[in-house]
Structure 1
Amino acid sequence: MKQGDLVVRKSYGGDVLFRVEDMRSDKALLKGTDYRLLADAPIPDLSVVDDPESTSARQQVRIKVNDSLKRMRQEKAHLTVLSGQDYDRAALQQQSQSYFELPGKVLHLDGDGNYLRKSMQLYQTMKVPAHGVHAHESQMAQLLYRLLPQVKPDIVVITGHDGVLKNREGEDLYSLSSYKNSQHFVNAVRVARQYEKNMDGLVIVAGACQSHFEALLQSGSNFASSPGRILIHALDPVYIAIKASYTSVRESINLSDVIHGTISGIDGVGGIETMGRHRMGLPKPKKVTQSTASMKITS
């Protein structure tokens, strides 16, 4: 077994596929390939997977991902139609005029470079303007001081890896010290909310697997993980951001739809009533450009 190998944990029945990030004497540091989970395990408990697509864990995830992507495309088309219903399109066409759309811009901070690439590809596919940054969770709060006024996003995604510590003191799930990275996420959310105090002016999506849901909401997140302290899929924060990007500024994001539309469901993600960030304009400019960018921050 070596760094980069795909493995499953025998003691957990091979429920999650991991990549070996580091080897430390008799233990291995693991990162989930589909779920935003950071874990460690004794090397004898690990089994190398040669064909990841053949595992039941990966097959089940693929089905859920495909369902979520299908739903995302359908909802995007539906939300766009709803946003334009206040305009008399027939009259506009007769006048040789047309409206244009401005979906909300996303600033996505991710502690995992592979997940960031997948996220940026999805933003691009769904035509959501997005700026992506790969940074360690501990760097995110400081980076936001510079990035927020520079990017001027409508939506901020703060995510990466997290997890409940095995050897936490007193088995206290409501202490930030019981989590691998929740404190870092909370610090970043506080910076973002200080930058824009209006909960509808800046939509914040924060957290990863098993993150401290209550602390993230209290620090200013609109949406956060994980109410049930479960694993969340890597694309769940992206799904919520896209939903916010294409919901009209005149409409509240449908909480039930957006939460149950994620791969992880209501135990994985929760949130509060929030207005969308999509705007319509008239008349259509001769040229409107929106870019999707990604860059990597190194320590």
Structure 2
Amino acid sequence: MSIQIMDIVGRISYNCDILFRVIDIKEEHETKKAILYGEDIRLIADAPYEDLIVIGGLERRKKSQEIETLEEQSYNLFRQDVDLIKQKQEYEASGGYTKTLNYFQIPGRVLHLDGDPLYLKKCLMLYEKIGVPVTGVHCNEKEMAVKIGTLIDYYRPDILVITGHDSYSKAKGKITDINAYRHSRDFVQTVREARKRVPHLDQLVIFAGACQSHFESLIQAGANFASSPSRVNIHALDPVYIVAKISFTPFMERINVWDVLRNTLTGEKGLGGIETRGVLRTGMPYNSVIHEENL
């Protein structure tokens, strides 16, 4: 069976452990090579054409169901966390604002830059399901650093996500060498440009990175959270769970890093960060806003 662009494939030499989407096929010196994007993880790879096999519908559904089960578990754990935060806020608001719970809340606004339009779509659906205000922008990883300043000025986000695809190649250098990574340098430069606009770590919270990204360089550049400390693959939705936790945490509270990571699908091997303030703000009165809208 011939392999076409956008086919879902597995690598025979890796026992088809990861589902990939074929995004390009190149032919050099009479050998064919495919460029692959992970279907559920933020990994970019290339593979010899003959090492690929198209994954049939039955096998795809089986793997998709396994992933969906993990996603549902992660979502339910996150939902429990959010409910606890809201209960705490209601209790505090009843004493600190008004006895009748006459208050409103403004969660942090997210600007999500993604190198993959399909991943971006999945993430936006999850943001909407959770209730996080978000603007999504599809942008090639190599163009992010040039565009980020204008985007920050226009959208003025509280939280910035810089993600897409990445990978480490042992053939290109040591694991400490950022030049051995597909897009880590692009992510680092984008974080630096963002920090030129908003230097303070608590005025703009940044998540940056993808699969196997150079974690240390991203943190040094100014990211609050990044991937991937152990150079492992991360799930496509992991950035959403991290920034949603920040979006719903009150700005007077500091977030323990483990509290952010524990409900992700990847955990501390793939994700890490530094202590950061939440960005949720509470105000009052709520009723006057409703009355003004009805006038």
Which residues in structure 2 correspond to 1:94-109 (within 5 Å)? Answer: 94=100, 98-109=102-113
CA distance, structure 2, for counterparts of residue 217 and residue 56 of structure 1: 37
Structure that is richer in helix per residue: 2
CA distance, structure 1, for counterparts of residue 176 and residue 76 of structure 2: 36
Structure 1 residue runs of 4 or more that deviate by more than 3 Å after TM superposition:
52-60, 89-94
Which residues in structure 2 correspond to 1:276-287 (within 5 Å)? Answer: 276-284=278-286, 285-287=288-290
Give the counterpart letter for 2:39 in structure 1. T
Give the counterpart letter for 1:121 in structure 2. M
CA distance, structure 1, for counterparts of residue 52 and residue 34 of structure 2: 9
TM-score (normalizing by structure 2): 0.91
Q: Spell out, residue by residue over 1:39-76, the C-alpha distance to the aligned partner (whole angstroms, 9 max, x if none).
A: 01011111101216656643432222111111121111
TM-score (normalizing by structure 1): 0.90
CA distance, structure 2, for counterparts of residue 242 and residue 257 of structure 1: 12
Contact 1:14 1:57 in 2 (8 A): no
Q: Secondary structure at the match of 2:200?
A: coil
Contact 2:166 2:213 in 1 (8 A): yes
Aligned pair partner of 2:126 in 100, 103, 122:
122
Contact 2:206 2:223 in 1 (8 A): yes
Q: 1:99 to 1:108 in 2, by over 3 A?
A: same
**Corresponding position of 1:296:** none
Q: Secondary structure at the match of 2:171?
A: coil
Q: Does 1:34 align with 2:36?
A: no
- The alpha carbon displacement at 1:84 in A equals 3.3
CA distance, structure 2, for counterparts of residue 264 and residue 227 of structure 1: 11
**Corresponding position of 2:147:** 143
Q: Secondary structure at the match of 2:265?
A: coil
**Corresponding position of 1:293:** none
The answer to which of 82-91 and 45-54 deviates more is 82-91
The answer to which of 8-17 and 72-81 deviates more is 72-81
Contact 1:36 1:233 in 2 (8 A): yes
CA distance, structure 1, for counterparts of residue 16 and residue 150 of structure 2: 41
Q: Could you tell me the percent identity over the aligned residues?
A: 44
CA distance, structure 2, for counterparts of residue 212 and residue 52 of structure 1: 36
**Corresponding position of 2:25:** 23
Aligned pair partner of 2:182 in 180, 183, 208:
180
CA distance, structure 2, for counterparts of residue 178 and residue 54 of structure 1: 31
Which residues in structure 2 correspond to 1:156-235 (within 5 Å)? Answer: 156-169=160-173, 172-235=174-237
CA distance, structure 1, for counterparts of residue 86 and residue 204 of structure 2: 20
Give the counterpart letter for 2:124 in structure 1. M
Aligned length: 284
Q: 1:173 to 1:152 in 2, by over 3 A?
A: same
- Larger relative contact order, structure 1 or 2 (CA cutoff 8 Å, min sep 6): 1
Q: Which runs of 5+ in 2 are unaligned?
A: none
CA distance, structure 2, for counterparts of residue 165 and residue 40 of structure 1: 11
Q: Which runs of 5+ in 1 are unaligned?
A: 289-299
Contact 1:89 1:98 in 2 (8 A): no
- The alpha carbon displacement at 1:83 in A equals 2.7
Give the counterpart letter for 2:111 in structure 1. L
Q: Secondary structure at the match of 2:24?
A: strand
**Corresponding position of 1:267:** 269
Q: 1:211 to 1:90 in 2, by over 3 A?
A: closer
Give the counterpart letter for 1:101 in structure 2. Q
CA distance, structure 2, for counterparts of residue 86 and residue 75 of structure 1: 17
